[in-house]
Amino acid sequence: MKNIKKNFLFNKYDFNENDIFFLLNIMSDSQVDFGDIYFQSKQQEVWILDNKIIKKGTYFFDEGVGIRIVKNFSTSFSYTNSIKLENLINCTNSVCSMLPSKSNRIFKKNLSIKNNSYFYTNINSIKKYSVEKKIYILNTIDCIARKQDVRVIDVYATLTCEYEEIVVGSTDNDFISKDIRPLINVTICVIVEQNSNREKGYSGGGGRLKFDDLIKKKINSEKLIDFWAKEAVRIALVALSAKLSPAGLFPVVLGSGWPGIVFHEAVGHGLEGDFIRKETSIFSKKIGQEVASNLCTIVDDGTLIDCRGSINIDDEGTSSQYNILIKNGILKSFLQDKLNAHLMHQKSTGNGRRESYACLPIPRMTNTYLLPGIDKREDIILSVEEGIYAVNFSGGQVDITSGNFVFSTSEAYMIKNGKIIYPIKGATLIGSGIDVMKSISMVGNDLCMDSGLGICGKDGQNVPVSVGQPTIKINKLTIGGIS
């Protein structure tokens, strides 16, 4: 194992991997069923441009340790931002004393040693690249957006760079896991005006990228920042000409990429182990049953290269995995952290995630998406006599217990006689996750992931995620709008 002290947050403390094992031994001596120690150091730099002016620049730094034990199915947890051995010994002893001394010893020792795979860069863009270069990116975005159309009256752009280091030790492993997690994202809002009518367009993206990727990587032959700036303008101009959405029951075509948020919300959350174990999910007790069209295979994959939701290891030290949740419409598995997996007599799927050292890990998604089918996007649209083509969403709500959802579109179009005829606004998709999945009749061959802005909230914790899908056709879905 590489020396942690050379690469991680311990370089400024008199602390090393042997000290972690010492703390874990305290837990074992206290006969806990399971215990772990989570070290985290996080930096974040944010720059904001508004109306051609850099309005704000902030730098955030935090580091600390979370200490957890499980005994007799109860959990004791404490955290501190003082990374000193004496303090951590006191915290560990305190956590161990919170629960009764008798233990069932339910967790087994894992004697295998695993080397982490690496799915993204370890470069710290906060330190490596100058402030001037970051401000240049924002000014470039402003310039590109304003050149697209004279109706652009304001551009708001944010550049965020993050750099996170984690170290995890646990009583069920004889090794220490570590990870470096960079994250970059750009958000753009463009305001356009015509005849006193104003509309907004949003775009942007990012991932676990190097800063240089913003001007070197390309989408549709254009640099990332060029494409995102133009997209924000395009979406705003589409909104200017949009008509009010009809209401009623329609066939719906969901575009590729970000519309995969429907599966994230209406399906993914319902497959997280804690909801399943407590039987508060509509998918409880449905393993092996048909819950979707046989055209649907949905996966959660934390191993996608450079993707926003990717992780080399989860926040319990388990290697990231490719998990098939639904295969050809049949429910196959759930998303598990260590605790819920054990209580359900299953294995962790590498989905134990937490926002920070001050939070307990819980089952969470990484990159969740629907696998591609064989249909062409053009053929899917041609198959619709009258319906809705939803390209982007601005928000939504889901009831995990019932599976019912409501999603608001930010870019949508009316389809008639197999042709996209005009943009609409105010369209809301209303339905149930299982019902919608069973009514999917066509799945496109154009899978793509979202651009990289996804944030998932659960139990007060936010973590970065990605979603994706190919173009799909839903036979019937209720559309809320204005008739």
pLDDT at 8: 61
Radius of gyration of the chain, Cα coordinates, nearest whole angstrom: 24
Beta bridge partners of 397: 406
Helical pair 85-97 and 17-29, crossing angle rounded to 10 deg: 20
Q: Is the pTM of this model over 0.75?
A: yes
pLDDT at 196: 93
Residue 310 has, within 13 A of its CA and on its CB side, a CA count of 23
CA distance linking residue 305 with residue 282, whole number of Å: 32
**Fold (topology level) of 4-240:** PmbA/TldD fold (3.30.2290)
pLDDT at 38: 97
Instruction: Fill in the DSSP letter of residue 375.
Output: B
Q: CA distances (Å), 289 to each of 284, 324, 326, 422, in order?
A: 11, 14, 10, 40
The segments of the chain whose pLDDT lies below 50 read 1-2, 106-107, 110-114
- Would you state the structure tokens that stand for residue 109, as one six-digit string? 């020792």
DSSP-assigned states of every residue in 51-68: TTEEEEEEEEEEEEEEEE
Q: Degrees (nearest 5) of the Cα angle 449, 454, 459?
A: 135
CA distance linking residue 385 with residue 458, whole number of Å: 39
pLDDT at 271: 97
pLDDT at 6: 55
pLDDT at 1: 39
Burial label, 380 (beta-carbon count in 10 A; 0-12, 13-18, 19+): buried
- Give the chain's length: 483
Q: Degrees (nearest 5) of the Cα angle 303, 304, 310?
A: 65
CA 478 to chain centre: 27
pLDDT at 112: 39
* Host H or E run for residue 107: none
- Would you state the structure tokens that stand for residue 221, as one six-digit string? 């032959």
pLDDT at 44: 97
Collapsing DSSP to helix, strand or coil, 250 comes out as strand
Domain boundaries, the chain: 4-240, 245-480
Q: Which amino acid is at 471?
A: T
